[in-house]
Amino acid sequence: MHTSDTVSTHETPGKSVPRLHVITQTRPGHDPFPSIKAALAAGARLIQVRPEDHYTDREALALAEEITDLCRQQGALSVVNDRVHIAQAVAADGVHLGADDLPVDITRGILGTSAIIGGTARDAMSARVLRRAGATYVGVGPVFPTQTKEGLPDAIGLEGLAAVCAAVDLPVIAISGIDPERARACVEAGAHGVAVVGAISSAPDPYCATRELLAAVGELPTGDRA
Ligand SMILES: Cc1ncc(COP(=O)(O)OP(=O)(O)O)c(N)n1
Ligand SMILES: Cc1nc(C(=O)O)sc1CCOP(=O)(O)O
Ligand SMILES: [Mg+2]
């Protein structure tokens, strides 16, 4: 499967990629903090700060600063979506980049070898390109339809996800429409883990929702497994 792709995977020194990525809900009218605090208390090890486009850089900076502080207090990692300069300003652990964001190789030059740099892939070819550019992981979606984001292409389903997982030896993080049952199915399809917005931010009990997702991806803290 990897025979024609001989460029080595970027290893992020000292940082393994967590299996559950909890993404902030920053739509107008939403306060991201209660569910993020609950997710961290429940044992989530990575928060992606995703300020929606209406956030000014000042507002994004304040959000990223506060969430990165919370992550540090809990021994979790923080990754900033899109805005590399904000990640740098708050010394976040990394960034997540899509097709319209700064390229992965340029960002690696800015943030250095220890940064976690994720890139969005929608098929096997784009995942291979991201791997060659030095991505730490690939976020792959939309796996299922979502209510959280508009303008996405059709969902690729578990088969599309499995095809990307088979194409690259990078951790694959499945995204879009993920709940605990689907998270299990994504891991069975070869994903390293999943990323979620609504499954935690819209849950009646974000702490319990996080525990269920952590269990689904096999990342419940030691001693908590039934
Ligand atoms: C883990 C993960 N995967 C994919 C995405 C989507 O990123 P992108 O395509 O850049 O879209 P926006 O999130 O910027 O709207 C993600 N954020 N995280
Ligand atoms: C931010 C984002 N990116 C996606 C992609 O497929 O690129 S789907 C998505 C939102 C995922 O939210 P939920 O977990 O509520 O479905
Ligand atoms: Mg983006």
- Is 32 known to sit in a ligand binding site? no
Here the contacts of 1-8 (C-beta below 8 Å, separation 24 or greater) are: 1/166, 1/167, 2/168, 2/169, 5/128, 5/131, 5/132, 5/168, 7/131, 7/132
Q: Say yes or no: CB of residue 120 within 6 Å of ligand 2.
A: yes
Q: Which of 26, 115, 38 is nearest to 70 (CA)?
A: 38
- Is 31 known to sit in a ligand binding site? no
- List the Cα angle 128/131/133 in 5-degree steps: 110
Q: 222 alpha carbon to ligand 3 midpoint, in Å?
A: 33
Q: Which helix (H) or strand (E) holds 21?
A: strand 20-23
Q: Say yes or no: CB of residue 98 within 6 Å of ligand 1.
A: yes
Report the distance separating Cα 59 and Cα 78, nearest Å: 17
Residue 225, CA distances (Å) to 114, 150, 212, 214 in order: 31, 36, 11, 10
Closest ligand 1 atom, residue 98 Cα: 10
Give the pLDDT of the chain (226 residues) as one tens digit per residue: 333 343 334 556 556 999 999 999 999 999 999 999 999 999 999 999 999 999 999 999 999 999 999 999 999 999 999 999 999 999 999 999 999 999 999 999 999 999 999 999 999 999 999 999 999 999 999 999 999 999 999 999 999 999 999 999 999 999 999 999 999 999 999 999 999 999 999 999 999 999 999 999 999 876 665 4
Q: Say yes or no: CB of residue 192 within 6 Å of ligand 1.
A: no
pTM of the model: 0.94
Residue 9, CA distances (Å) to 130, 150, 212 in order: 10, 32, 31
Question: How high is the ipTM of this complex?
Answer: 0.99
Cα–chain center distance at 69: 18
Domains in the chain: ranges and CATH: 20-216 (3.20.20.70)
Q: Say yes or no: CB of residue 52 within 6 Å of ligand 1.
A: no
- Is 168 known to sit in a ligand binding site? no
Q: Say yes or no: CB of residue 118 within 6 Å of ligand 1.
A: yes
Best residue among 26, 47, 81 to mutate for probing ligand 1, ranked by most atoms within 8 Å of CB: 81
Q: Which helix (H) or strand (E) holds 159?
A: helix 157-167
- Is 81 known to sit in a ligand binding site? yes
